[in-house]
Structure 1
């Protein structure tokens, strides 16, 4: 398992678990059965993970998913998410649409919303090699959005004009790498911190769609460029991850 090489065998016994888990895809009502550490081919192992709307990563079959049971080792998180790609393996693609490969190990991932969740907004990194348009820190480099609790080792430049608030849910999104779907979710706590800087059309209050974002002394016109990356059915239930 990918985790064993990073955390010193914390879950060494996981390879030999005999419990078979069944997961139902609610969209298609199909049931997927797997066993953690299963070997469908010689010398191949498969593991299954889940990421929630707060960016917390769990083994998919963890019964109680909370801060106590999620993975917290930063080296492991960086290792896992830096290798995450769309699942085009032909296995479990419907329910586990993303895959992190580690040698002969396949680590399948499903998510509550998006596979990448922005957890922190960090100051500009002074040695950033490439400076792009966006909110600039004192160093002249853009501020960074860190994702999945990886600190400065997992981050993208923050572009205020690219923030997008999903109308039906109030969840906030920001662009990310195309191989991770092109858009990441901003976790609820960070979305709440950013919410006072959204500007709405006159007379609509916060019930309408924001048109601008005030940041770093500038009024940024929101492009809503990532709206097309979100399927229509996503974000239809108000609640976690939103700013309302």
Structure 2
């Protein structure tokens, strides 16, 4: 029998509520079985990179998932939801054997939470609580500040859309390194990012993800 690493924790948590949950026109029950031997669960990722059961009423650090083994498994198997089930409300799904774990997000399915200590591979950003097991190379020139929201973004794995949100605490750490055109303040679009003794010109390549909306 195949065992999904970390999913046992999720299952035990899910059975605390068997009531039908409705989000707009989307209705589900945590742990529902639409087909024999199939289980479906529903999750929410906030803008700080914290993962919750979608129907958790109070979403904070106390109620989010913290087990790193579970988080790594969940996000490594995450992909776009093309299952024809709940696609409008839950655009991503993490499959584990006979379990379908649907995910909706406050912003992006990848939220960068920490800058890891630099090694021979250079600086890396970890995401969604995965530490060294979920990370990408830090690309200073590819940072993008959305002029509408002020949120900061960085390239993410392509299978997850190619763009990730930098959580607010990390974005604040980055803020002194942004440079602006002469006469502009921090409310304008930055042009450069100073990092490791180098002045990187920002490409704003991630703007394409917002231009398409």
* Corresponding residue for residue 28 of structure 1: none
* Corresponding residue for residue 30 of structure 2: 36
1:226 aligns with 2:206: yes
Unaligned runs of 5+ in 1: 25-30, 126-138, 234-244
Distance in 1 of aligned mates of 2:184 and 2:210: 24
Supply the RMSD in Å over aligned alpha carbons.
2.0
Distance 1:201 1:90, change over 3 A: same
Deviation at 1:231, TM superposition (A): 5.6
Equivalent pairs counted in the alignment come to 212
2:83 paired residue among 89, 105, 118: 89
Counterparts of 1:6-85 in structure 2, within 5 Å, are 6=6, 9=9, 11-12=11-12, 14-15=14-15, 17-24=17-24, 31-85=25-79
* Corresponding residue for residue 122 of structure 1: 116
Q: Which runs of 4+ in 1 moved over 6 A?
A: none
Deviation at 1:142, TM superposition (A): 2.0
Deviation at 1:5, TM superposition (A): 4.5
Contact preservation (8 Å) 2:81, 2:91? yes
Distance in 1 of aligned mates of 2:104 and 2:60: 16
- What SS is found at the alignment partner of 2:193? strand
* Corresponding residue for residue 241 of structure 1: none
Counterparts of 1:152-191 in structure 2, within 5 Å, are 152-191=132-171
* Corresponding residue for residue 204 of structure 1: 184
Deviation at 1:18, TM superposition (A): 2.5
Distance in 1 of aligned mates of 2:125 and 2:19: 38
Distance in 1 of aligned mates of 2:129 and 2:81: 22
* Corresponding residue for residue 100 of structure 1: 94
2:126 paired residue among 146, 152, 173: 146
Distance in 1 of aligned mates of 2:189 and 2:104: 29
- What SS is found at the alignment partner of 1:230? helix
Unaligned runs of 5+ in 2: none
- What SS is found at the alignment partner of 2:83? coil
Distance in 2 of aligned mates of 1:10 and 1:98: 17
1:109 aligns with 2:103: yes
Contact preservation (8 Å) 1:3, 1:76? no
TM norm structure 2: 0.94
- What SS is found at the alignment partner of 1:75? helix
Q: What's the CA shift string for 1:129-163, capped at 9, x where partnerless? A: xxxxxxxxxx3x22110000110000000000000
Deviation at 1:102, TM superposition (A): 0.2
